[in-house]
């Protein structure tokens, strides 16, 4: 086989065309020229590759990981090695590239393969195991989901089928990791995952690049951790037709920049590092007193972990911040009724209580109830009473004002109604009584702003905490949440506006600012007219903490349906990229499954048609409403849905052109909770409507692919 002298370095076409690694190795050994001294690499012509593909296709069973092979070629010298220079970027072409092997990434791969079993899909993840935030290295002993079994089930893979979970119990981190691992094995996804591989940059392809008649839209630079082989990190460039960003909203830890941190001389870490650093911090005999900064559910989890490992805990919640979040038991009583909170918010009758601007797909028999509750004088009184009762019941459930020794614990009562917090909340999913840890004195709460750090000491701005201005501690753990920015850099920067991803305000042109300002004003006018009660929202306090200085202001996520770019279609961006789980809600799995199917339909242009102008209007309305609806949650940055998650699911199903109301009767539609079981078989419904993609392989390949699923 002759190699062309005109084909430039960059595209390894074997992946897309189905060439086994053994064949590439053989052909490279027999025919590969010795690379010139300038390390120029010559590759086969396109015609040669296509013939090569057809000859090798029937010998390829999909089991070889060609990416692993290319990494190996780039790292080890070989007599006739096409990729001998380890400093050279190797470029691989992929049909669909998924960044993230958490629940969203795994579900996306399964969904796409269900539609096209012969599709060449690769999943990248920076961890060494599946699960994303539930990967093995992120786990620590007391980590649990906020959800009770079995509400974390995928619709087509129940936990009970693999013996995971216990009814009435919160799902542990170990169980969640085991479940996602079993899911990946069951749907034959493990061979498609490249672990210890971090995507660092995404470039828009400026010119059309043809590979087997497909256009490459994105170049993704990834760093591969190969230290176990004695080599430094290797950089590989992947080209893909479709890019799925499944990194979610927990990818970039929001680590505060505290003055004096370089002199702290003690462990200083973000709560996201508790898994890998559990042994050297919380099992360290020299660490006795631990400070925790933050007021969110992750702060509760960190405080609980530190306290139950016999540490004295100083819990610092900024005085000038938003204060603590709502963290409550899994069940509550509303009047005489005991309700499972997670199931409460997916019952239509209770979703009607929320002022929601999303389209109402509940049906003519019951949709009038929402109108009555928000337009009629009596209905408005009922809605107002509901939120007042829920607020009072939550205070009671949390025991903020209960008992004589409640002074320290009462500090944890949030300042405003749960109505405004969205998903900035959590469940008391602990084996021990959390309140007892606080009232016993093992945990001391400080509502203070930090001035600076010094060796083993935290200094406060004011001295109103029993006269103490300084805390002597052995470690500081910052449970300060995550930045809303994507964990991968996109180039060129002007692309941010079209993609709808957060960018600094000063990076936008006046024209770009004006476009969204117009749509935002239209959205605000509509919301003000329909739900005026959302306008006098509680103002967020202005922080005085030193760690908040010099913080850049970013635009919010502005995605069509919270998934796809809202910008005008171009050759290289039209239906070629989606963002999964840039979103916060209580019941995640149904939303993940629906977003994945919606993305599949989006890639194939099989959604209900919406004009570009309407896409922008819908996107602005969704973003502005989330910001007004959950100002003390995450609504300022990305969709944050609690009582409004079911209308969002309806929205996606309606876009798919499928049956929205999944219950068997009007009564059940009104009062029965929705869960993943209600969407079981939805992918098959969509495939039945639009047909399975045949791909370029043989009918036998398609059947074999289906068997693997």
Q: Kindly report which listed range (66-75, 175-184, 444-453, 681-690) carries the lowest average pLDDT score.
A: 66-75
Compute the average pLDDT of residues 520-540: 86
> pLDDT tens digit string along 87-146?
444 567 889 999 999 999 999 999 999 999 999 999 999 999 999 999 999 999 999 999
More confident residue, 202 or 91: 202
> pLDDT tens digit string along 219-262?
999 998 865 555 567 888 999 999 999 999 998 999 999 999 99
The pLDDT mean for the chain works out to: 83
CATH of domain 94-202+213-252+485-504+553-642+675-709: 3.50.50.60
pLDDT of 494: 84
CB neighbours (10 Å) of residue 518? Answer: 13
Q: Kindly report which listed range (6-10, 44-48, 499-503) carries the lowest average pLDDT score.
A: 6-10
pLDDT of 505: 86
Sequence ranges of the domains in the chain: 1-88, 94-202+213-252+485-504+553-642+675-709, 261-325+424-478
**Do the beta carbons of residue 215 and residue 238 sit within 8 Å?**
no
pLDDT of 411: 93
More confident residue, 189 or 552: 189
CB neighbours (10 Å) of residue 449? Answer: 20
Compute the average pLDDT of residues 481-493: 90
> Largest Cα–Cα distance in the chain?
87
CA atoms within 13 A on the CB side of 487: 20
Percent of the chain whose pLDDT exceeds 70:
78
Total count of residues recorded for the chain: 709
pLDDT of 32: 36
> pLDDT tens digit string along 328-351?
999 998 777 788 999 999 999 999
What is the pTM (predicted TM-score) of this model? 0.85
pLDDT of 408: 85
> pLDDT tens digit string along 568-608?
654 445 689 999 999 999 999 999 999 999 999 999 999 99
CA atoms within 13 A on the CB side of 206: 3
Compute the average pLDDT of residues 354-359: 97
Q: For 689, phi and psi rounded to 5 degrees? A: -75, -40
Q: Is 63 exposed, middle or buried (0-12, 13-18, 19+ CB in 10 A)?
A: exposed
CB neighbours (10 Å) of residue 549? Answer: 10
pLDDT of 700: 44
The DSSP code for 564 is B
pLDDT of 706: 39
More confident residue, 286 or 544: 286
pLDDT of 541: 52
**Which residues are within 8 A (CB) of 552 and not within 5 positions of it... i.e. 6 or more apart?**
504
Domains 94-202+213-252+485-504+553-642+675-709 and 261-325+424-478 share a fold: yes
CATH of domain 261-325+424-478: 3.50.50.60
Which residues sit opposite 328 in a β-bridge? Answer: 427
> pLDDT tens digit string along 290-304?
999 999 999 999 999
pLDDT of 25: 32
pLDDT of 80: 31
* 3-state SS assignment for residue 271: helix
Whole-number Å distance between alpha carbons of 314 and 445: 6
Q: Is 222 exposed, middle or buried (0-12, 13-18, 19+ CB in 10 A)?
A: buried
Whole-number Å distance between alpha carbons of 49 and 34: 20
Which residues sit opposite 198 in a β-bridge? Answer: 223
More confident residue, 479 or 462: 479
pLDDT of 493: 85
Compute the average pLDDT of residues 552-578: 82
pLDDT above 90 for 463: no
Residue 507 pLDDT grade (very low, low, confident, very high; cuts 50, 70, 90): confident
pLDDT above 70 for 44: no
pLDDT of 533: 86
pLDDT of 246: 98
């Amino acid at each position: 086989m002759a190699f062309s002298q005109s084909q430039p370095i960059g595209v390894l076409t074997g992946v897309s065309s189905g060439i086994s690694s053994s064949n590439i190795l053989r052909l490279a050994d027999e025919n590969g020229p010795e690379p010139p001294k300038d390390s120029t690499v010559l590759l086969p012509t396109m015609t040669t590759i296509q013939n090569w593909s057809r000859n090798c296709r029937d010998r390829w069973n999909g089991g070889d990981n060609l990416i692993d092979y290319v990494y190996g070629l780039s790292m080890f010298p070989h007599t006739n090695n096409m990729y001998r220079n380890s400093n050279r970027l190797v470029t691989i072409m992929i049909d669909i590239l998924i960044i993230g092997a958490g629940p969203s990434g795994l579900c996306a791969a399964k969904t796409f393969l269900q539609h096209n079993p012969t599709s060449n899909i690769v999943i990248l993840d920076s961890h060494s195991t599946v699960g994303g935030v539930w990967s093995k290295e992120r786990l620590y002993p007391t980590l649990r989901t906020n959800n009770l079994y079995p509400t974390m089930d995928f619709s087509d893979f129940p936990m009970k089928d693999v013996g995971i979970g216990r009814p009435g119990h919160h799902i542990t981190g170990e169980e969640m990791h085991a479940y996602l691992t079993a899911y990946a094995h069951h749907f034959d996804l493990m061979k498609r995952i490249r672990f210890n591989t971090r995507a660092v940059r995404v470039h828009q392809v400026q010119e059309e690049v043809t590979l087997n008649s497909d256009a490459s839209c994105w170049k993704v630079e990834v760093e591969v951790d190969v230290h176990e082989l004695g080599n430094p990190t290797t950089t590989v460039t992947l080209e893909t037709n479709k890019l799925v960003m499944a990194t979610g909203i927990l990818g970039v830890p929001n680590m505060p920049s505290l003055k004096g941190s370089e002199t702290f001389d003690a462990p200083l870490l973000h709560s996201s590092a508790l898994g890998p650093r559990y042994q050297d911090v919380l099992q360290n005999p020299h660490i006795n007193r631990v400070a925790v900064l933050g007021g969110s559910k992750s702060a509760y989890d960190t405080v609980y972990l530190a306290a139950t490992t016999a540490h004295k805990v100083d819990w610092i919640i900024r005085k000038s911040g938003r204060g603590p979040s709502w963290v409550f038991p899994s069940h509550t009583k509303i009047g005489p009724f005991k309700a499972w909170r997670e199931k409460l918010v997916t019952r239509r009758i209770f979703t009607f209580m929320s002022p929601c601007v999303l389209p109402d797909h509940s049906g003519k028999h019951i949709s009038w109830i929402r109108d009555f509750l928000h337009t009629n004088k009596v209905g408005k009184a009922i809605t107002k009473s509901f939120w007042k009762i829920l607020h009072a019941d939550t205070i009671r459930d949390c025991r903020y004002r209960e008992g004589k020794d409640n002074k320290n614990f009462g500090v944890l009562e949030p300042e405003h109604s749960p109505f405004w917090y969205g998903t900035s909340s959590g469940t008391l999913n602990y084996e021990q009584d959390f309140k007892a840890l606080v009232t016993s004195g093992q945990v001391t709460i400080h509502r203070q702003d930090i001035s600076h750090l010094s060796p083993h000491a935290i200094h406060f701005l004011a001295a109103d905490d029993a006269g103490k201005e300084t805390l002597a501690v052995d470690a500081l753990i910052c449970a300060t949440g995550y930045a809303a920015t994507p964990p991968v850099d996109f180039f060129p920067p002007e692309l941010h506006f079209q993609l709808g991803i957060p960018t600094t305000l000063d990076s936008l042109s006046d024209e770009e600012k004006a476009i969204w300002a117009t749509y935002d004003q239209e959205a605000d006018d509509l919301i003000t007219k329909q739900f005026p009660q959302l306008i006098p929202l509680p103002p967020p306090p202005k922080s005085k903490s030193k760690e908040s200085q010099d913080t850049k202001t970013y635009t919010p996520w502005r995605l069509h349906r919270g998934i796809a770019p809202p910008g005008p279609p171009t050759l290289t961006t039209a239906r070629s990229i989606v963002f999964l789980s840039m979103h916060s809600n209580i019941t995640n799995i149904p939303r993940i499954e629906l977003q994945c199917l919606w993305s599949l339909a989006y890639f194939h242009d099989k959604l209900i048609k919406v004009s570009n102008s309407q896409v922008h209007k819908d996107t602005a309305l969704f973003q502005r409403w989330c910001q007004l609806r959950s100002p003390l949650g995450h609504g300022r940055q990305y969709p944050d849905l609690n009582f409004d998650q079911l209308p969002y699911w309806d929205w996606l199903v309606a876009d798919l052109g499928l049956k929205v109301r999944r219950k068997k009767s009007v009564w059940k539609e009104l009062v029965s909770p929705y869960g993943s079981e209600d969407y079981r078989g939805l992918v098959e419904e969509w495939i039945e409507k639009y047909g399975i993609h045949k791909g370029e392989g043989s009918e036998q390949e398609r059947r074999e692919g289906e068997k693997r699923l």
